[in-house]
Amino acid sequence: MLENLGNMGQIMSQMQKIQQEIEALNVEVSSPDGVVKVVMNGKQDLVSVSLDQEAIKNIEVAQLESSLTSALNQAKDRSRAAVKDKLSQATGLDVNGMMNMFG
């Protein structure tokens, strides 16, 4: 067991690299109607929101809210999936239980 302690520095370095890659990861999603575009990073932080200026001139508030909610939820789901893929590739493990480590 103690022989594995020598690898801890290497393991920690690799985990820091993976965490940096996850933080740098961005997913971009548009709402189904194309009115809203959001960018979310691998930590599920919202990076940006863009609205189609022409489309919002003729849209009801409820529809804009629905478009925004849809885009945000899709971005969150895609971000989580991208993080799972990144972690699985890096570790070779099923990472479903590890997701809470990164946000």
The answer to whether the CB of 74 falls within 8 A of the CB of 87 is: no
Q: Class assignment of domain 24-93?
A: alpha beta
Look up the pTM and report it: 0.76
Distance CA 9, CA 90 (A): 16
> What is the torsion angle, in degrees rounded to the nearest 10, for the CA atoms of residue 69, residue 71, residue 76 and residue 78?
150
CA 26 to chain centre: 6
What lies within 8 Å, CB to CB, of 103 at 6+ separation is 42, 43, 44, 45
36-41 sheet: strands from edge to edge: 26-30, 36-41, 46-51
pLDDT digits (tens, 9 = 90+) for 12-26: 888 888 888 888 999
Q: Can you give the pLDDT at residue 81?
A: 94
CB atoms within 10 A of CB 47: 12
pLDDT digits (tens, 9 = 90+) for 28-86: 999 999 999 999 999 999 999 999 999 999 999 999 999 999 999 999 999 999 999 98
Domain boundaries, the chain: 24-93
